[in-house]
Amino acid sequence: MTVVTRFAPSPTGYLHIGGARTALFNWLYARGRGGKFLLRIEDTDRARSTPEATEAILKGLTWLGLDWDGEPVSQFERADRHAEVAQALLASGKAYKCFSTQEEIAAHREAHKTPFQSPWRDKTEAEHPDTPYVVRIKAPQTGETVIRDQVQGDVTINNAQLDDMVLLRSDGTPVYMLAVVVDDHDMGVTHAIRGDDHLNNAARQQMVYDAMGWDVPVWAHIPLIHGADGKKLSKRHGALGADEYQKMGFPAAGMRNYLARLGWSHGDDEFFTDAQAREWFDLDGIGKAPARFDLKKLEHLSGQHIAASDDAALQRELDAFLDATGQAALTQGQHDAMEQAMPFLKERAKTFPELLDKAAFILSDRPIQPDEKSAKALDTVSLGILKELTPHLQTANWNRTDLEAVMNAFAESQGTKFGKLAAPLRAALAGRAATPSVYDMMLVLGRDESLARILDVVQDK
């Protein structure tokens, strides 16, 4: 059997973090088994569904690296097929026309405090009035329905609690609960992995599967995500769209790793690659308790992924970050310098803004303007030392070994250590007190640019 999973968002807003995790779980399960991961846009709510929201969802999935098979399916465009199934159930006697009014339904529920029992369930066509009607499925009235869930375990529902669900509204349009089942069947979905807020829907949807004689997919209802305080996730916890996390500068690999760990585990492993996640991911590893979103843990994992990333791939993602945030693209010169500097820039940077901050010496133009803290390192004594150091640098071979030898020899001649030279050099080269290694900066900037920056501050004083 080929595993087929699907992600089925409603295009009424951005791809929120809970939806992104659901998509990831479906993607991992399918990809790890050589199966298919399908995408369905559940756009039947025409008042709230927008093309912009659909585009935002597709962009969010693309940024996360969750590729899908085939073209996305529009649920709205399949309305005729959904209605066709309802008519088939009607023709087979497994559904019926209900002529009860909303007032009658409300009165029944108020009087009996039970699910609505339609008086039209067993009426014949000859007894039908010429008035609007809905089509309802005939729910089982005795016994139990068991949802065999791979995460929640067996969930048993007394059939007396189920009403005869509406399949077609009085205007002939199909309801969402029918559309989901028909679409999943027609798309060949074998595993329905979704949030546990859909668990209550499973029993009603299973009625349609049983009535049509279709195989029921493997159910897997995953707990929702809460904030670090245990409360329902909201914007103050980080319930933002996937595009916002890209704009905050998190690498996609770090985001995938973190989302995978939200509610799923593989032993004590925290940091892992995509290949490992695809190999390890299984429904057995999903817990029943709500996962807790923790921005600090996301930052920690993101930093690990930045450090472990291929330099060229990291540069491409950095370019995409600049584009997503509306920042100017790097010049070719900056690009070349970033490529050379990437091995040390990516160390201990948790996000792309932090990486860019470490690369400020590359991105800054002459004359460098020292910030308040680094300017203090350019006092009269330090400037004098830099002035004396400059001739030694002008004749040095521009490689790390020779530069270190020149610096150490000069420091020794001054009766000090290299550490005393580092602060004014940082100020001159980058205009900051916290920078990458002085030697790393000088090698990336090159002889001419490094000396020019040092001479700028020496001559300026």
Which CA distances in Å does 392 have to 90, 424, 456? 93, 16, 17
* Rounded Cα–Cα distance for residues 249 and 324 (Å): 10
Give the DSSP per-residue string, 338-355.
Answer: HHHHHHHHTTT--SHHHH
Q: Which of 248, 449, 438 is nearest to 356 (CA)?
A: 248
Beta bridge partners of 144: 158
In the annotation, is 235 catalytic? Answer: yes
* Rounded Cα–Cα distance for residues 295 and 273 (Å): 20
User: Contact at 8 Å (CB) between 255 and 64?
Assistant: yes
The DSSP code for 221 is E
Four-residue CA torsion sign, 362, 367, 370, 375: positive
* Rounded Cα–Cα distance for residues 400 and 408 (Å): 12
Which one of 36, 94, 97, 235 is the catalytic residue?
Answer: 235
Beta bridge partners of 191: 218
Q: Which of 455, 319, 444 is nearest to 383 (CA)?
A: 455
* Rounded Cα–Cα distance for residues 433 and 449 (Å): 19
The alpha helices in 139-219, defined as continuous H runs, are 176-186, 199-212
Backbone dihedral angles phi then psi of residue 225, each to the nearest 5 degrees:
-100, 135
Strands lying side by side in the sheet with 95-98: 95-98, 134-137, 166-168
Measured in Å, how far apart are the chain's first and last C-alpha atoms? 77
> Would the annotation count 376 as a binding residue?
no
* Rounded Cα–Cα distance for residues 134 and 286 (Å): 39
**Numbered residues of the known binding site:** 235
**Numbered residues of the known binding site for ATP:** 235
**What positions carry a catalytic annotation?**
235
